Amino acid sequence: MTLRQKIGQMVHCGFHGYEPSEEIVRLIRERGIGGVILFARNVRDIRQVAATNAELQRIAMEAGLPPLTIAIDQEGGMVARLTEGVALMPGNMAIAAGGSAEAAYEAARVTGDELRALGINLNYAPVLDVNVNPANPVIGVRSYGESPELVGDYGLQAIRGLQEAGVTATAKHFPGHGDTDVDSHLDLPTISHSRERIYAVELAPFKRAVAAGVDAIMSSHIYFPAFESGKVPVTLSRNVLTGLLREELGFDGVIMTDCMEMKAIADHYGTVKAAVMAVEAGADCVLISHRHDLQEGAIDALVAAVESGRISEARIDASVRRLLAMKRRRGLTADAVATVADDAYYAGDAFRRVGGEAHRAVARRISEASVTVVKNEGGLLPLRRERTLVIGVQAAAVSEVDESVDLPMTLGQALAAQGVPVEERTVLLDDVAGQADALAELARSFGQVVVGTYNASFRPEQAAFVRAVLESGGKPVVVAQRNPYDIQAFPDVPAYVLTYESRPLALQSAAKVLAGTAEARGRTPVAIHPDYPAGSGGNGR
């Protein structure tokens, strides 16, 4: 390989559109990039995704390059780029609420099988962050829970499931994003704990992942003063990436950055400049998800850094060897990707299993086990088969990682399918305050009221609305449809149920529990209130 081709292998890029764009084609042919990142903006349906990926691989092979790493964020639950036509698995906290680490393996194995059938060979999962901060705006239900041991147990099973399916697993966000109250998409967070605390909590799952042979680890854009005296985030810290992860923990897989266009990097250092700094720090792979000019600029800056002697070519060679070894380890060879996504391929078993009943049955079983009844005073559950008001707050993207949330089902619709007579009102997040009084008054005329909240612990207007219903004499059953900590804003609600996400499958599972056609078996993987520690649940009180 030429120097430019080797550096290209170290840069993974996103693009816009349902077909390979002119920009991504040029990056492959002229810059030799080693990987492509897919987002929801690249997904129309699963057949199109498979065809796009086959075309991307054809372009790389015709350019004489190794097969491309084609990557995606398919964590499950609320963070997923593929949502239709696949068996979308519950997210991490929902899986952990079900109480079976084996379920983490099953979910990851099915996800891996489906991704590989669509031509995707790397998943930016699992999240190994230990969510010990209820105010965390970006991790939350993406974490398995607040226990380092539990996160390690479930995370290792997810890694095993993905890698057995031939998909690279990426443990993230090293050395831990679980105790921040700032979203690194928006600014640079700091975690100021001592080394002893970080080793005991944040680092513990990652140490186990390294020992278990995880293919890749993604760095966080967070400043850890315990490891870095200069105020630079982990992604740019040689002390953390090389000193801690590579040398002390002995990780010899691929170190990849989180997206270098996130504001924690872009606003403080600049994406192009930071790409060079990340490689100097020890990163093998730099992710630039959106802007073509920054993608080209980063590659040019890295070439210039080697040509000037700032970075040695031997350092580049070491990273490229790791990247190529990762591809070979997951069977990513020219022969393996040579099959064109044609009619014969779509008729084959691998593609036909994508979103099939066998895979969906796994998702249903895991989802139904996750529903958690934390509180049930006065026997409000199961619901009676009588006129019921369901008030829901429409789900919305709460972080850039969500990308978009367009959900085709409501809790009221799911309850109606279980035979509960429903009258439903759905409120936009920004309209809750204006409609609170009218909806509280409406609730007076119903014998049963179900309120679906969405991150109410971060949205005071939702808490005020629930309290308004209580003050009007209502006894609402509150269903927290994402953040389990919502009860902190209204601890006196008589009934409180957790779904951990608002995907249709989660709402269907919750409706079965609310209607009494399924048993509530979930238990909280985190403490959600002083009265409700981790492990709360069962049938509530």
Using one digit for the tens of pLDDT, what is the confidence trace for 324-335? 999 999 998 877
For residue range 466-503, list pLDDT tens digits in order.
Answer: 888 888 888 999 999 999 999 999 999 999 999 999 99
Q: What is the pLDDT of residue 403?
A: 59
Burial class (CB in 10 A: 0-12, 13-18, 19+), 509: buried
Secondary structure of 50-103 in HEC code, one letter for each residue: HHHHHHHHHHHHHCCCCCCEEEECEEECCEECCCCCCCCCCCHHHHHHCCCHHH
Give the three-class secondary structure for 348. coil
Integer Cα distance of 34 and 512 in angstroms? 46
| Host domain of residue 259 | 3-353
Q: Residues 445-473: what's their mean pLDDT?
A: 88
Asked whether residue 344 falls in the same domain as residue 384, the answer is no
Q: What is the mean pLDDT of the chain?
A: 93
H/E element, 265: helix 263-266
Asked whether residue 408 falls in the same domain as residue 471, the answer is yes
Q: pTM of this prediction?
A: 0.95
Tokens of 297: 């600029």
Integer Cα distance of 209 and 173 in angstroms? 12
For residue range 412-430, list pLDDT tens digits in order.
Answer: 999 999 999 999 998 887 7
Rounded (5°) CA angle 405-11-328: 95
Asked whether residue 305 falls in the same domain as residue 412, the answer is no
Query: Which one of the listed residues 129, 183, 258, 486 is annotated catalytic?
Result: 258
Q: What is the pLDDT of residue 460?
A: 83
Burial class (CB in 10 A: 0-12, 13-18, 19+), 358: exposed
**164 falls in which pLDDT band (50, 70, 90)?**
very high
Q: What is the pLDDT of residue 430?
A: 74
Q: What is the pLDDT of residue 18?
A: 97
Q: Residues 149-174: what's their mean pLDDT?
A: 98
Q: Which residues contact 162 (CB under 8 A, 6 or more apart)?
A: 108, 109, 111, 112, 123, 125, 126, 168, 169
β-pairing, 74-76 vs 79-80, is antiparallel
Say yes or no to pLDDT of 465 above 90. no
The b/e string for 398-427 (b: 16+ C-beta within 10 A; e otherwise) is bbbbbeebebebbbbbbbbebebebebebb
Integer Cα distance of 18 and 50 in angstroms? 11
Integer Cα distance of 466 and 451 in angstroms? 8
Is 529 annotated as catalytic?
no
- Could you tell me the sign of the dihedral formed by the alpha carbons of 125, 147, 522, 405, in that order? negative
In a domain, 396, yes or no: yes
Q: Say how far residue 20 (Cα) sits from the centre of its chain.
A: 24
**342 falls in which pLDDT band (50, 70, 90)?**
confident
Asked whether residue 387 falls in the same domain as residue 437, the answer is yes
Here the CATH number for the domain that contains residue 466 is: 3.40.50.1700
Say yes or no to pLDDT of 541 above 60. no
For residue range 202-223, list pLDDT tens digits in order.
Answer: 999 999 999 999 999 999 999 9
For residue range 11-69, list pLDDT tens digits in order.
Answer: 999 999 999 999 999 999 999 999 999 999 999 999 999 999 999 999 999 999 999 99
Query: Which one of the listed residues 153, 185, 300, 402 is annotated catalytic?
Result: 185
Integer Cα distance of 51 and 31 in angstroms? 23
Task: Identify residue 23 by its one-letter amino acid code.
Answer: E
Q: Cis before residue 290, ω within 30 degrees of 0?
A: no
In a domain, 149, yes or no: yes
Here the CATH number for the domain that contains residue 27 is: 3.20.20.300
In a domain, 531, yes or no: no
Rounded (5°) CA angle 264-268-270: 100
Q: What is the pLDDT of residue 399?
A: 65
In a domain, 19, yes or no: yes
In a domain, 182, yes or no: yes
Q: What is the pLDDT of residue 188?
A: 78
For residue range 343-381, list pLDDT tens digits in order.
Answer: 788 888 999 999 999 999 999 999 999 999 999 999 999
In a domain, 32, yes or no: yes
CA-wise closest residue to 528 among 456, 428, 427, 438:
456
Asked whether residue 211 falls in the same domain as residue 279, the answer is yes
Give the three-class secondary structure for 391. strand
Q: What is the pLDDT of residue 398?
A: 65
Q: Residues 246-254: what's their mean pLDDT?
A: 97
Q: Residues 497-519: what's their mean pLDDT?
A: 96
- Asked whether 37 and 14 are in contact (CB, 8 A), the reply is yes
Q: What is the pLDDT of residue 404?
A: 60
Say yes or no to pLDDT of 267 above 60. yes
Asked whether residue 329 falls in the same domain as residue 423, the answer is no
Angle between helices 357-370 and 504-515 (to 10 degrees): 50
Q: Residues 274-302: what's their mean pLDDT?
A: 97
Integer Cα distance of 99 and 335 in angstroms? 40
CA-wise closest residue to 251 among 242, 259, 264:
242
Could you tell me the CA-to-CA distances from 86 to 43, 92, 175, 224, 257 in Å, in that order?
12, 18, 31, 38, 28
β-pairing, 69-72 vs 372-376, is unpaired
Asked whether residue 184 falls in the same domain as residue 321, the answer is yes
- Asked whether 411 and 452 are in contact (CB, 8 A), the reply is yes
User: Which range (11-25, 342-356, 396-410, 515-529) has the least confidence?
Assistant: 396-410
Asked whether residue 295 falls in the same domain as residue 379, the answer is no
Helix ranges (DSSP H) in 340-410: 343-346, 349-353, 357-370
Q: How many domains does the chain have?
A: 2
- Asked whether 156 and 318 are in contact (CB, 8 A), the reply is no
- Asked whether 153 and 176 are in contact (CB, 8 A), the reply is no
- Asked whether 140 and 88 are in contact (CB, 8 A), the reply is no
For residue range 97-130, list pLDDT tens digits in order.
Answer: 999 999 999 999 999 999 999 999 999 999 999 9
Integer Cα distance of 149 and 134 in angstroms? 19
User: Which range (147-151, 292-296, 437-441) has the least confidence?
Assistant: 437-441
Asked whether residue 326 falls in the same domain as residue 385, the answer is no
Asked whether residue 223 falls in the same domain as residue 323, the answer is yes
Is 185 annotated as catalytic?
yes
Say yes or no to pLDDT of 514 above 70. yes
In a domain, 526, yes or no: no
Asked whether residue 121 falls in the same domain as residue 185, the answer is yes
In a domain, 23, yes or no: yes
Integer Cα distance of 162 and 142 in angstroms? 17
Asked whether residue 126 falls in the same domain as residue 272, the answer is yes
